[in-house]
Structure 1
Amino acid sequence: MVTASRVQLTVLRGRDDECRTIKGLLDGVTDGGGSLLVHGEPGSGRTALVGHAHRHVEGRATTVLAGTGLAEEAALPYAGLQRLLDPLLDHTAVLPREQRHLVRRALGGEDCPDARQLALSMGVLGLLAAAARDRPLLVTMDDVDLGDPQTARVLAFAARRLRRLPVVVLLTADAATTIDGIPAHRLRPLTERESTAVLTDRLRLRRHRRGDVAGTDRLPERPAPPVVAALAAIGGGNPQALGDLAGVLTPGQWRGEDPLPTAPPTDGALGRAYRARLDRLPPSTRRLLLLAALDEETGPGTPVRAAAEALTPAEAAGLIRVEPGGVTFHQPLARAMVAASAPLAERRAAHRLLADTLDPRTQRLRRAMHLAAAAEGTDPALAAELEQAAADGERDWSAASAALCRAADLSADPGQAAARLLSAARYAWTAGRPDQARLLLDRLRTAPVGVVDGRAGLLRGELELRCEPAADASATLLAAAGSVADADRAQALTGFVRAGEAVCFAGDQYRYAEVGHRAAALRRPNDPPALELMSCLVAGVAATLRGDHERGGPALRRAVVLGGRLTGPASTPTALACAAAAGLVVAVDGAAHRLAERAVALARDRGELSMLSRALELRAVAEYWLGRHETAAETSREGLRISRATGQTNGANVHLGMLAVLAAVRADRDTSLRWIREIGEAPTPGSRPHALAGWALAVLDLVDGRHDEAATRLASLARLGTGRGQVLVQVMATPYLVEAAAHLAHRPAATAALSVFDRWASSTASPLRRALSARCHALLAPRGSAEADREFQTALRLHPTEAGAFERARTELLFGRELRRSRRPRDARGHLHRARETFTLLGVGCWAEQATSELRASGESVGPPALPAARLLTGQQLRIAQLVAEGATNREIAARMFLSTRTIDHHLRNVFHRLGIRSRTELARAFVSVPGPGPASDR
């Protein structure tokens, strides 16, 4: 019977490809053998794969020869071959006389002349063939690169000549080793999900071995998610590192209550492997390697750069690469293991030496960190220096977080230590490391009561809003903001703004009234602009959500004005994002876009990754309203990448939803459904991502003529009058709801939604919103009536000419369809022609086809639009197309236009689609006579 512990030990996480390859070789060995070299870093699973191969042939009629390269025998020619082939010595009699003589000499400890190497290698191949005569043979040599080179050379010779033999040779070596003519698999680091599985396996194994222990010493069922993320980073995706770490964690560390180790244990299997590699280096090399490991910025003035030649043995060993700019470790884990393997006294001496080489003014934080690493016990003065150096740093939030963690350790006062840990958590979150922030917050659970409670709650609530199911985020934020209101109004107001975001994200807008009431109590005359801005935003949104646009509009417009005036320290990504959000609610799209763009640029410049996703979200919505759908999609794709890189699950789902909507309104069904599938089942019904996905699906229903389904989906986005659901998303989607409902006999939901939309649109100065309102009324008016005609004409008159070409074309299409169905085909054709041309220029093929169908139904004979390429493409697309026509590659174009190759690929696909061509050759022909766009259009 297989025990649970054995199952855990034999599962190889993240090595499915290699296991399949090995299985394929072994299962097909009777039809001809093969070979495989598995190479990777120490601890990456090379030996485990050898064990997997051995287990796979258990119970089969297969002979197994297994060997391991030993560094102690590297200077003994053929030592590894002797250990490997010792069981086959009786088979040497079948070899030709010369080969038999050479094989016996080599295995007997005598060398082989260079001129006889071929004969010796043929003898070993013959010996393997003789052993495989009766049943297949598996030959494995683990760490072949550590043993004697003669063995490696002979085995490689044999491994290249197994096609007609029932022999499989499996070799393993370090990451830098390659063997010509032998297929190789480079073992990659495990993903975070695979690392989670490894850690969970190891935890279960420990629980199985220990049994269930009552009390605080009991191991948890699963590791805490922040612990997993932190261990995955510490272990660098290395299976052995993860296993070693899991073997030494205490129950409190598994639960995230105690600090985690900074590196795998030096007495673990991986630590021993690295110590063995380091022991083979000269002492001077080890000392310099330690300095390089302890200081990542090995500039020209450091001891490492001054004596870089002494690092040649470490470079030859595959640990580092020495370049003019400094020393690079091939794996971050190697750096950590080199540092951890050194004795404590040597590490402290190295830190002191590095600190002495650094300028206390220009390299203050690095110097303080080295001094702190060399310190023992508590040191309040050094802790204060670390705190100040972190505050004065050049926005390296991760380094500042690490400095404040160490400052907390050096603090003598528990209150100061807790405050510094909280700042470290805030910096970690700012750097886009939510799991590290959570771990530090968990350490604060034992802090003195009242020291950091409220401020820790604000950060915890923000993490819930961005990275976790957001249902509880508003309660956390409201409680925390209330507790700090007397001490710090700015933080309290920020907390109320975040609580409002949480309420809207979850679809609980009826709770925004409480947010507005509590924020209003903090407002003071002559508040600084940033505080007044936040107060105006909360007050304006609260009024707007209850339908009081007379109060909401002025407050929101005031927030926009204040955002435009922010300068200096008050101009933060958070404040600018608040102003941009206000602009979107009050429909000043251009100003909202400028504010969001400033927030994005500032977040990038300051390295505030935690805010970048939100700023990009606001910019994408502004670009949607401005009619820049392709640009909005590009913004959302960037936001999605940032959200995923920083663990912001909710932000990622909002960007996915926005991408789905943008694809749907352009009738790109496959792309929209792909984004919706990526959202999955995680978002709570009623949340913003769930509503965006529903909007996208409804638009696709509308495109396909499923009007009842589309109207039902859109009506369900919010329950008007209750404040539940996504009221703001439904307002955005109301034009599509009305369009779907226009085909239905009963339309109370559309009428109610349009009433809400009308009150909002009439309170704004936005011509686009008023145009959409008029279009909606035209669609609900009796067919062929003067009212419908008047409302359509009003909509076309209000549509802005400088933006929103897509919505204007939609109005032209709907008006033309109305006129054609009212038996006025002649009046319809002009509108339909303009709609068709605009849709073609925008590259929206489905809508262009609808306009074409309506034109044909109106009696028009319609051919392909006679539009030159220069009119079909944007300026940037035109420039890219011309460079392709000139023969430039995508990489060359990216370099010339200062864009990424991915962006060039995206634009080129759109160029092909718009021009109806399939190859670069056709594109070159199309552009033979196209004039250049000129500087003005090269945008």
Structure 2
Amino acid sequence: MQLTVLRGRTDECAAIRRLLADLPTGGGALLLQGEPGSGRSALVDYAHRHVEGCTVLAGTGLSEEAGLPYAGLQRLLDPVLDRAGALPEQQRRVLLRALAGAGCPAHRRLALCLAVLGLLTAAARDRPLLCTMDDVDRGDQPTADALAFVARRLRRSRVAVLLTTATDVPLGGISRHRLRPLDDRDSTALLADRLAGRPPAPPVAAALGAAAGGNPQALVDLVEALTPGQRRGEEPLPETPPPDGRLGRAYRARLDRLPADTRHVLLLAALDEDGEPATLVRAARVAGTAVEALTPAELAGLVRVEPRRVTFPQPLVRTVVRAAAPLAARRAAHLLLADVLDGAGHRLRRAGHLAAAAQGPDPALAAELEQAAAGHEDGAAASAALQRAAELSDDPARAAARLVAAARYAWSAGRAHRARLLLGSLPADATVAGRAGLLRGELELRAGRPRSALTTLLAAAEALAGTDRALALGALVRAGEAVCFAGDQYRYADVGRRAELLRRSDDPPATELLSAYVAGTAATLRGEHEQAGPALRRAVVLGGQLTGSALTPTTLSCAAAAGLLVAVDGAAHRLAERAVELARERGELSALPRALELRAAAEYWLGRHDAATESSREGLRTARDTGQDNWAGVHLGMLAVLAAVRADRDTSLRRIREIGEDPGAHSRPRALAQWALAVLDLVDNRPAAAAARLAALACPGTGRGQVLVLVMATPYLVEAAAAVADRPAAGAALAVFDRWASSTTSPSRRALSARCHGLLAPRGSAEAERELRTALRLHPTDAGTFERARTELLLGRELRRSRRPRAAREHLHTAREAFTLLGAASWAEQATTELRAAGESVGPPEESAARLLTGQQLRIAQLVAEGATNREIAARMFLSTRTVDHHLRNIFHRLGIRSRTELARALALTDAPRGSG
């Protein structure tokens, strides 16, 4: 498998270079093990290209010669056999006899191996020698044994041996590298190499990477088989590499060399996707053989038989095994498997095998498949069964309904591309347009264009309103999510009106929950919190009472979202956690990213930033695995915010870059990214930039933009705006925040409100201190440690600026200790700086210039070194320009300097590491 570009093989290339670099002074050996297509041959070629001033002997193990002892050795050593005369007579005779096909008696094998070593050493006397044998496990075993013997005894020679193998052969004593699957980054880079340097769209790269399983040749084969529409992400992508690709042909060649019984049992294993060993044992016995016939396939690395499951390490092998078998053999194997499966637990598997063997429509079998698939825990298996049921149906309406159900199961299992493919196969006049539209809209919402999703979901809700109000409400819930994701909150009013028309007084709990959630959200976005509160609290209560079939990840997620809107964070977290657990238990992977988003939001409000980060990381992984690009962006945005709050600039910016192409001017990922950047601006003392970013998130009066994100970020907006005296922008946002906070019973929200009012009050006023102390009193002592510490810091700063340093130090010490325990180093440093400005000596002793300045003088000096003007410094530190001028004269006098340039140089020396000279 020659690959022109090596990706993900940095360690192996380095090992090869080290092996070659040691050749002039001493030999060595290296064994590369990896599955077909992993790049073993490309690494051998890499060694050939990078060797200099050496003789090269190259061979390849050939399966055609596997039964001919020493055939591979003969081909390898033929170019240097003229050096055999340098060997002792007995060694020379045994070597030439073996290479001539006369074999080697067991008691002479040591002499033969020593002869091979001696021959290679003799050939390397004039020039170092590189000896490579690719696929050593495919050729004859005596050759492999002899080369292994030699490879272990090269320290004193100028010979290097490089061997590759696909299987885990027992070649001990040789340095071994296992070629691991490519990670996402290397897979994407390899795809870009094959697409003329243009990386594919993220969803295309993710789907191809999953289909290839990290195998480089599989990726190449996939790319070469793609249509233009698939490359652009406009058509469904293949789920496995093509069986007629280069890798598929390589596996086909391996299959052809297996015994007939092995191929027969391997076909049974390939057709029975459940992989239950007991089933395979029974099926093999009925077929007149035994499961032990798989041993040659195991040794060839094609299949793995474990106590609880029979698996194919490379999914392509399963596809190739099926494709290689004649139609009659496949049909007979399916019928045999159906015969050995009995009992209720095997109902779907048995029906699936019967359906695979069926010829022509079979309504009874289609009905059996549909019934067996209902509620099956494996969504992918249920989807395949329903698709086959549609094919066996003789009623077009039933066939369409089964296709939609198959698409729903596929989507639930996280296979978005399969769901789209199934929906695309529906006839134009399908009688299930409402259900199909609901699923199309959900797919578009999670992985497409949310604004288009809104139109599709509203149409689906209208189509379903007369037949299934619960599904119609579900469509409206998703439509509301599309509105909020795209930043078009003003359009939620229409969603709310439609939901109100569907509400009935005798609705079951799950339906009532959806109605209450939509109504409460619509009222919240209108600013009518008195009306929103009862509806949202009712949704929370109902979410905790649901049981049986009404208990789903979707209903629990709605209840959790309602809890966040009324600031009952503990209840919201419990509901979101239950939604996550239920989605996992039922295999509803498509519901996980949304549930994890809500759990992360609840953890943010509870002050559990580390937990929120873990939830968002899992949400990101799941969103990418299930093709939900939009929700991957949401989780990336939240991770960026959480990193920024920790002042982890590199991580935050990396997450923002990962969001990639802007999904919309007012989209939620974009808003979260702007929030993260604003927090970093605040950390870096750029309050004007922070205020401008946050003020642009939304316009609450019009409902455009990310109103809900702006509400979450309001405390940061107020802090930034207060620092630059930009009160109108902060006042408008705080008014919205206040109306919401006052409608809740949340002490933490009211604490944040009071803190914001304290920041906007005149500096040094009794009002500012009173509001900040109120905030401190309201902060819960058992949660929200970070926000409480932030309030301690802000109150300490206020007291210090009011010339009350002794009172300030108490709060600043508390803040510094809390930030240190939380690992928030940047915020702890801010508290330390304030403590020094308040006359407290903390931390390690300052050096040189910094040691000569007070805390306030040091801060002014640092701002000067950063290029700030006196006016800018005065605004940032809430001082007059006259006071800044006075401090700057004292700084120049203490340091014995005359200019700002000299000051910057003095601080640079202060910041230099000790011992740097």
> Is the pair's TM-score, using the shorter chain for normalization, greater than 0.5?
yes
* Equivalent residue pairs, number: 838
**Matched residue, 1:890:** none
Deviates more, 1:844-853 or 1:116-125: 844-853
Deviates more, 1:598-607 or 1:23-32: 23-32
Which residue of the other structure, out of 421, 431, 434, is the alignment partner of 1:439? Answer: 421
Give the 3-state SS of the residue equivalent to 2:163 in structure 1. strand
Once the two structures are superposed, residues 523-556 of structure 1 have per-residue CA deviations (whole angstroms, 9 ceiling, x without a partner) of 3443333333223322322232232334333332
Which residue of the other structure, out of 138, 147, 152, is the alignment partner of 1:155? Answer: 147
- Decide whether aligned partners of structure 1 residues 268 and 658 sit closer, same or farther in structure 2, where only a CA change above 3 A counts: closer
Contact 1:348 1:374 in 2 (8 A): yes
How far off its partner does 1:454 sit?
A: 4.0
**Matched residue, 2:40:** 46
Query: Partners in 1 of 2:413 and 2:495 — Cα distance?
Result: 28
**Matched residue, 1:88:** 80
Which residue of the other structure, out of 257, 271, 274, is the alignment partner of 1:294? Answer: 271
- Decide whether aligned partners of structure 1 residues 416 and 851 sit closer, same or farther in structure 2, where only a CA change above 3 A counts: same
Which residue of the other structure, out of 412, 423, 439, is the alignment partner of 1:430? Answer: 412
Contact 2:131 2:162 in 1 (8 A): yes
Give the 3-state SS of the residue equivalent to 1:364 in structure 2. helix
Once the two structures are superposed, residues 368-424 of structure 1 have per-residue CA deviations (whole angstroms, 9 ceiling, x without a partner) of 11212222233222122111111142x211211121222233233444333322222
Once the two structures are superposed, residues 870-917 of structure 1 have per-residue CA deviations (whole angstroms, 9 ceiling, x without a partner) of xxxxxxxxxxxxxxxxxxxxxxxxxxxxxxxxxxxxxxxxxxxxxxxx
Within a 5 Å distance, the mapping from 1:540-619 to structure 2 comes to 540-619=520-599
Which residue of the other structure, out of 786, 790, 794, is the alignment partner of 1:810? Answer: 790
Deviates more, 1:838-847 or 1:594-603: 838-847
Once the two structures are superposed, residues 52-74 of structure 1 have per-residue CA deviations (whole angstroms, 9 ceiling, x without a partner) of 555667xx876544333233433
Deviates more, 1:381-390 or 1:301-310: 301-310
Within a 5 Å distance, the mapping from 1:297-446 to structure 2 comes to 297-300=275-278, 302-303=281-282, 307-393=290-376, 395-444=377-426
**Matched residue, 2:610:** 630
Give the CA RMSD over aligned residues: 3.8
Once the two structures are superposed, residues 811-856 of structure 1 have per-residue CA deviations (whole angstroms, 9 ceiling, x without a partner) of 3332333233223445545544554555555554554554455456
Give the 3-state SS of the residue equivalent to 1:109 in structure 2. helix
Within a 5 Å distance, the mapping from 1:726-805 to structure 2 comes to 726-805=706-785
Give the 3-state SS of the residue equivalent to 2:31 in structure 1. strand
Give the 3-state SS of the residue equivalent to 2:162 in structure 1. strand
- Decide whether aligned partners of structure 1 residues 182 and 862 sit closer, same or farther in structure 2, where only a CA change above 3 A counts: closer
**1:640 pairs with 2:620:** yes
Once the two structures are superposed, residues 48-95 of structure 1 have per-residue CA deviations (whole angstroms, 9 ceiling, x without a partner) of 4445555667xx876544333233433322122222233333333344
**1:36 pairs with 2:30:** yes
The one-letter amino acid of 2:104's match is C
- Decide whether aligned partners of structure 1 residues 132 and 624 sit closer, same or farther in structure 2, where only a CA change above 3 A counts: same
Within a 5 Å distance, the mapping from 1:805-884 to structure 2 comes to 805-828=785-808, 830-832=810-812, 834-836=814-816, 838-839=818-819, 842=822, 844-848=824-828, 850-851=830-831, 854=834, 857-858=837-838
How far off its partner does 1:430 sit?
A: 0.9
Which residue of the other structure, out of 4, 15, 28, is the alignment partner of 1:10? Answer: 4
**Matched residue, 1:99:** 91
The one-letter amino acid of 1:180's match is G
Q: Percent identity?
A: 72
Query: Partners in 1 of 2:668 and 2:175 — Cα distance?
Result: 49
Query: Partners in 2 of 1:543 and 1:737 — Cα distance?
Result: 24
The one-letter amino acid of 1:408's match is A
The one-letter amino acid of 1:628's match is R
- Decide whether aligned partners of structure 1 residues 136 and 534 sit closer, same or farther in structure 2, where only a CA change above 3 A counts: same
Uncovered stretches (5+) of structure 1, i.e. residues with no partner = 1-5, 206-220, 865-939
How far off its partner does 1:577 sit?
A: 0.9
Query: Partners in 2 of 1:584 and 1:258 — Cα distance?
Result: 38
How far off its partner does 1:572 sit?
A: 1.3
Query: Partners in 1 of 2:82 and 2:283 — Cα distance?
Result: 55
Deviates more, 1:598-607 or 1:713-722: 713-722
The one-letter amino acid of 1:625's match is W
Query: Partners in 1 of 2:710 and 2:591 — Cα distance?
Result: 26
Query: Partners in 2 of 1:222 and 1:739 — Cα distance?
Result: 41
Give the 3-state SS of the residue equivalent to 2:425 in structure 1. helix
Contact 1:263 1:340 in 2 (8 A): no
Give the 3-state SS of the residue equivalent to 2:161 in structure 1. strand
Query: Partners in 2 of 1:54 and 1:150 — Cα distance?
Result: 25
Deviates more, 1:347-356 or 1:811-820: 811-820
Once the two structures are superposed, residues 736-780 of structure 1 have per-residue CA deviations (whole angstroms, 9 ceiling, x without a partner) of 221222222332211111111122222223232222222211221
- Decide whether aligned partners of structure 1 residues 770 and 244 sit closer, same or farther in structure 2, where only a CA change above 3 A counts: closer
Contact 1:256 1:442 in 2 (8 A): no
The one-letter amino acid of 2:518's match is V
Query: Partners in 2 of 1:439 and 1:174 — Cα distance?
Result: 35
Query: Partners in 2 of 1:249 and 1:701 — Cα distance?
Result: 44
- Decide whether aligned partners of structure 1 residues 693 and 264 sit closer, same or farther in structure 2, where only a CA change above 3 A counts: closer
Contact 1:299 1:305 in 2 (8 A): no
Give the 3-state SS of the residue equivalent to 2:361 in structure 1. coil
Contact 1:516 1:539 in 2 (8 A): yes
**1:510 pairs with 2:490:** yes
- Decide whether aligned partners of structure 1 residues 55 and 415 sit closer, same or farther in structure 2, where only a CA change above 3 A counts: farther
Uncovered stretches (5+) of structure 2, i.e. residues with no partner = 845-917
Give the 3-state SS of the residue equivalent to 1:742 in structure 2. helix
How far off its partner does 1:781 sit?
A: 1.4
The one-letter amino acid of 1:298's match is E
How far off its partner does 1:364 sit?
A: 0.8
Give the 3-state SS of the residue equivalent to 1:10 in structure 2. coil
Query: Partners in 2 of 1:263 and 1:666 — Cα distance?
Result: 42
Query: Partners in 2 of 1:615 and 1:392 — Cα distance?
Result: 21
Contact 1:257 1:443 in 2 (8 A): no
How far off its partner does 1:614 sit?
A: 1.0
Contact 1:360 1:367 in 2 (8 A): no
Contact 1:481 1:493 in 2 (8 A): yes
The one-letter amino acid of 1:81's match is L
**Matched residue, 1:878:** none
- Decide whether aligned partners of structure 1 residues 815 and 286 sit closer, same or farther in structure 2, where only a CA change above 3 A counts: same
Query: Partners in 1 of 2:179 and 2:356 — Cα distance?
Result: 34
Which residue of the other structure, out of 667, 673, 686, is the alignment partner of 2:666? Answer: 686
Query: Partners in 1 of 2:557 and 2:668 — Cα distance?
Result: 18
Query: Partners in 2 of 1:256 and 1:776 — Cα distance?
Result: 46
Contact 2:400 2:430 in 1 (8 A): no
Once the two structures are superposed, residues 554-608 of structure 1 have per-residue CA deviations (whole angstroms, 9 ceiling, x without a partner) of 3323333333332221221111111211221222223322322222222222221
Once the two structures are superposed, residues 427-455 of structure 1 have per-residue CA deviations (whole angstroms, 9 ceiling, x without a partner) of 122112223323333334xx233434443
**1:185 pairs with 2:177:** yes
Contact 2:641 2:676 in 1 (8 A): yes
How far off its partner does 1:494 sit?
A: 1.8
